[in-house]
Amino acid sequence: MVYRNENGCKLNNSDLRVKGAEHKYRDTTGVKPQQFQEIVSQIDLSSPSGVRYRALVQLLWSNALRRGEVIKLDIKDVDLDNCELYIMGKGRQQKDKVVLHSNGKIYRTYTKTLYIAHG
pTM across the whole model: 0.58
CATH T-level topology, domain 32-118: hpI Integrase; Chain A (1.10.443)
Residue 106 pLDDT level (bands cut at 50, 70, 90): low
| Burial profile 30-64: b = 16 or more Cβ within 10 angstroms, e = fewer | eeeeeebeeeeeebeeeeeeebbbbbbbbbbbebe
pLDDT tens-digit series, residues 15-42: 566 677 788 888 878 788 899 899 989 9
Torsion of CA 100, 101, 102, 108, to 10 degrees: 0
